Amino acid sequence: MDESILIIDDDAATRVFLTRKLQRAGYQVWSAALGAEGIEMVSTHHPTLIICDWMMPMMDGIDVCRSIKSNKQLHAAYFILLTARDSIADRVVGLEAGADEFLIKPVDNRELIARVRTGFRIASLQQQLQDTVEQLEVKVEVRTNEIQAMNAQLLQAMQIKDDFLANISHELRTPLTSIITASKLLRMQTKDVLSSRQHQYLDIINTSGDHLKALINDLLDFAKLNADMVSIQQHPVEVGSLAEQAISIVQPAAQEHQIVLSSSIPKELFFYSLNTDGCRVAQILVNLLSNAIKFTPAGGQVTLRVVQTFERIVFEVSDTGIGIPYVEQEHVFERFHQLEPTLTKQYSGAGLGLSLSERLSKLLGGHILLCSEEGVGSTFRLYLPD
């Protein structure tokens, strides 16, 4: 660091005294007789340390200090205010103006050198700190640009993935629908012709086809959600109608798994009109009910209840299934999240239903809460605005 000093004092004798003492100590020294002249020399020479008298004509030391400290290009200079004032009030005024240190008149030579050395050490530390900050700012800027570039690449990759899922889902759904329809027609037309084993094969085709169709529909919905293409069509719909529709869709699966499926809707809520997107609500309820049926052993129960609380309609799906471990509960709404590998093999699925339902519930202005105990069962509550 350049150990240069500027002395600003209207008293010539003081300027000469300070200049000689500091030059003998090995410092480079400039001097100015007036405040305005000193500010101009600061701009020209950029001294590391300034010693300025408080009491000067036209522009005193306080004004000089404020002017220098308010200038971003000059404010780093270490400012020592030279004064005969020694009261706490005067020191406060000087500190508020931006002074870093005080030197009391008459000036003692040992104190002068000690204050100056201390000032240079502090100025050096401040410069090191400033250099470190600037280096960090450069590193942060470089890293930010790298992260932004990576984010752009990631967004592009996600868009390509979503487009691929949407396109492949469309391409798969058409032939899959034909397979499901053909298998159902074949079963109807050959009811008394095929053997029981052949009928089992047709059942497998139908069940697998329906499962794949549901998965493809979920993939399409996710692609639309990610592209902000899902629109909510609100209209009045009866609560009881929504519940019955969802129950009727999952009833065959419940019977197949030997699950007791029931609903509980208060009379005053059955015909209650809810202004929402009925198709999306039904989709969420079917997902929640299907999930409950899948994870409930044969002989268990799945129940759909409807209650009203705090200006909210709550659809509650509870089961007596395997329950969800506590450590897994915070992840159940994550996309493609599945249970631990041993359970994933037993209970098929892509991990889309709950995540899709949770995102749709938010589009409807609601949310889904989970309450579950491992080995006892789970309850999912869909809260919708009344």
Return the structure tokens found at 45: 């020479």
Q: Domain 4-107: which CATH class? A: alpha beta
pTM above the 0.85 mark?
A: no
Maximum Cα–Cα distance across the chain: 126
| Spatial CB neighbours of 54, under 8 Å, sequence gap ≥ 6 | 60, 61, 62, 81, 82, 83, 84, 85, 94
Element holding 5 (H helix, E strand): strand 4-8
* CA 192/CA 115 separation, integer angstroms: 110
| Spatial CB neighbours of 357, under 8 Å, sequence gap ≥ 6 | 283, 284, 287, 288, 368, 382
Calculate helix-pair angle for 353-363, 278-294, nearest 10 degrees. 150
Q: What is the CATH number of domain 148-226?
A: 1.10.287.130
Residue 299: is its pLDDT beyond 90? yes
| Spatial CB neighbours of 239, under 8 Å, sequence gap ≥ 6 | 265, 269, 270, 271, 272, 273, 274, 306, 313
* CA 178/CA 185 separation, integer angstroms: 10
Collapsing DSSP to helix, strand or coil, 335 comes out as coil
Neighbours of 370 (CB within 10 A): 15
pLDDT single digits (tens) 21-43: 999 999 999 999 999 999 999 98
Q: Residue range 82-111: average pLDDT?
A: 90
> Residue 18's pLDDT is what?
94
Q: Residue range 98-107: average pLDDT?
A: 91
Q: What is the DSSP letter of 230?
A: P
Q: Residue range 283-290: average pLDDT?
A: 92
> Which residues make up the CATH 3.30.565.10 domain(s) of the chain?
235-385
Name the band, by pLDDT with cuts 50, 70 and 90, for residue 62.
very high
First to last CA, the chain: 71
Q: What is the CATH number of domain 235-385?
A: 3.30.565.10
Q: Residue range 277-289: average pLDDT?
A: 92
Backbone φ, ψ for residue 32 (5° rounding): -140, 145
* CA 372/CA 273 separation, integer angstroms: 30
Q: 11, 54, 6: which is closest to 31 by C-alpha?
A: 6
> Which residues make up the CATH 1.10.287.130 domain(s) of the chain?
148-226
Q: Say if residues 116 and 25 touch (Cβ distance below 8 Å).
A: yes
pLDDT single digits (tens) 262-280: 999 999 999 999 999 998 9
Specify the range with the lowest mean pLDDT, choosing from 79-88, 132-141, 221-230.
221-230
> Residue 338's pLDDT is what?
60
> Residue 42's pLDDT is what?
92
> Which residues make up the CATH 3.40.50.2300 domain(s) of the chain?
4-107
* CA 241/CA 278 separation, integer angstroms: 9
Q: Say if residues 182 and 149 touch (Cβ distance below 8 Å).
A: no
> Residue 370's pLDDT is what?
94
